[in-house]
Structures are given as C-alpha cells and as structure tokens.
Amino acid sequence: MRVLVPVKRVLDYNVKPRVKADGSGVDLANVKMSMNPFDEIAVEEAIRLKEKGVVTEIVAVSVGEAKCQETLRTALAMGADRAILVQTDDRVEPLGVAKLLAKIVAEEAPELVILGKQAIDDDNNQTGQMLAGLLGWGQGTFASAVEIADGHAKVTREVDGGLETDDLKLPAIVTTDLRLNEPRYASLPNIMKAKSKPMATKTPADYGVDVAPRLTVTNVVEPPRRSAGVKVADVDELVTKLKALGVAK
C-alpha cells in the first residue's frame, strides 16, 4: 500500500523566533529552516512500515515556496520514494493545505496519510483532522503507536488523561506525537541517492483549489516579558518564600 506524508518547512526548533518590529510577523530571513519535527516522525513511521513490508511506496508532499524542495529532499534522503511540491509563495492555511492534500489523495489513492500533529510555527494542530473530514476517513490523532493489519489501523493516542486506542478502517489519517518513534538521520549515501529520486512540481491551480486565506494576521507582537526574579541562597530562604506565597504553612 501507498502512504502519503505531508511535510512542512518551518523555522528550526532550536532557533529562538524574533518578532519583526513592524508587527508583520516573525523574521524568517537568514535563519535556519528545517522539516517540522512532527513530520520527521511521520516520515520515519512510514519508513518503518515499509521496512515491515506493510507499505510499498512513500510519497512526500510539501506545500510552499520553492525552498520546500530542500525539505522534500530530506524526506527522500530519509527513505521516501518520491515527492510532490505544490509550489506557491502565498501563505496557505491548514484548510487550504487539507484541500490540496485531498486532491492528491484522489490522484494517488494512498491507504494511509501520516501527518504531524502540529506545525511548530503556527501551532495550529488542524490539517490532519481537516483532511480526514474532507475525505470522510477515520482519524488517529496524536499517535504514539500505530499497528496496521487486516485493513485496519490500531492507533494508540496521547490524550489528556493518558492513552487511548482507537481502531480505524483503512484508508485513514494518522497524526504523530513525540513518542511515536525517534527519526533517523539520513546517511551521506542516502542523501546522494535522494538527489535522483523523482520530484514533481505543481501549483494549487493545477489542482483547481482556491487556497486564499480566510484569516488575516493583523498584528504580531512579542508576549509580555517576565521581570527578572531573585536568587535565594539556601533552602531556608526558599521555605520562607513559599510561606509568604501561602503555599506552605
């Protein structure tokens, strides 16, 4: 079976975001960009399913500017088989991404789409659930374990109270949580090999999807800063402070 893995290019998780002074957003000029960490976990999960013989082909998809090619090459170097770039310089929201993915699903007929649970730039946590809704498929979100057998996916999910397991009919959507796996690094030979793997470039218009944003970002500011605190010298002083706060008697 075929698996589709959408990957987003985002500000690297190690970089501290800087808010632009004019309130227009976060400064992305000359900073390190990487694959969204949850998407690395998604690619890894697809590769493991392929290594188990459950999956036969992994198609990575990214929506965004031309530089998303780099993100797709990373997915290919990890072990994806081919890639599709839906190229646009415009901001595309989760609803637009989900609509594009729904069209690609119609063309590629995967039995599983594995997405990240959340892109760490906009922190939306929407795209997988939206895609499932558009397709009328089951959804296993925030997955910490995935088992595929007999046309079903058993997905263990990280929920507020602990863990929950749902049984989904395939085809289905899975979104990854942190504990699903630990993504591999691409080896140098695989990075070389990835250069010759196929990558198709499309546009939203090719799919006939209107991706015009529904939300306008009118202002972006830094959150209020906490003022500097004090250091206490020892436990006794800390106990005094805790008493003053009223949390200790």
Partner 1 sequence: MKTLVWVEHDGKAVKDATLSAVTAAAKLGEVHLLVAGQGVDGVAAEAAVIAGVGKVHVADDAAYAHGLAENVAPLVAGLMATHDAFVAPATTTAKNIAPRVAALLDVMQVSDILSVEGADSFTRPIYAGNAIATVKTSDKKLVLTVRTTAFDKASPTGGTGSVEKVASTGDAGLSSFAGAEIAKLERPELTSAKVIVSGGRALQSSENFKTLIEPLADKLGAAVGASRAAVDAGYVPNDYQVGQTGKIVAPEVYIAIGISGAIQHLAGMKDSKTIIAINKDEDAPIFQVADIGLVGDLYKIVPELTDKL
Ligand X SMILES: Nc1ncnc2c1ncn2[C@@H]1O[C@H](COP(=O)(O)O)[C@@H](O)[C@H]1O
Ligand Y SMILES: Cc1cc2nc3c(=O)[nH]c(=O)nc-3n(C[C@H](O)[C@H](O)[C@H](O)COP(=O)(O)OP(=O)(O)OC[C@H]3O[C@@H](n4cnc5c(N)ncnc54)[C@H](O)[C@@H]3O)c2cc1C
Does 120 help bind ligand Y (rule: CB under 6 A)?
A: yes
**CB within 8 A of 239, min separation 6: which ones?**
248
The dihedral formed by the CA atoms of 32, 38, 40 and 44, expressed in degrees to the nearest 10: 170
Residue 39 interacting partner from ligand Y, partner 1, ligand X, none (CB closer than 5 to 8 Å by kind)? ligand X
Site for ligand Y in 132-161 (CB under 6 A): none
H-helix or E-strand spanning residue 3: strand 2-6
Does 191 help bind ligand Y (rule: CB under 6 A)?
A: no
The count of other CB atoms within 10 Å of the CB of residue 25 is 13
Applying CB under 6 A, among 2, 4, 8, 140 the residue interacting with ligand X is 8
SS3 136: coil
Does 28 help bind ligand Y (rule: CB under 6 A)?
A: no
Tokens representing 85 are 């770039």
Site for ligand X in 28-87 (CB under 6 A): 36, 38-39, 42, 61-64
Q: Are 90 and 211 in contact, with CB atoms under 8 Å apart?
A: yes
Binding mask 70-109 for ligand Y (x = CB under 6 A): ----------------------------------------
- Name the residue nearer to ligand X (CB basis): 114 or 194: 114
- Name the residue nearer to ligand Y (CB basis): 2 or 117: 117
Dist CA 61 CA 102 (whole Å): 12
**Residue of 55, 57, 76 whose CA lies nearest to 7:** 76
Does 33 help bind ligand Y (rule: CB under 6 A)?
A: no
> Cβ of residue 108: shortest distance to ligand Y, in angstroms?
27
What type of residue sits at position 130? M
Does 97 help bind ligand X (rule: CB under 6 A)?
A: yes
Applying CB under 6 A, among 87, 88, 118, 156 the residue interacting with ligand X is 118
Which residues would be at the binding site for ligand Y (CB under 6 A)? 13, 37, 120
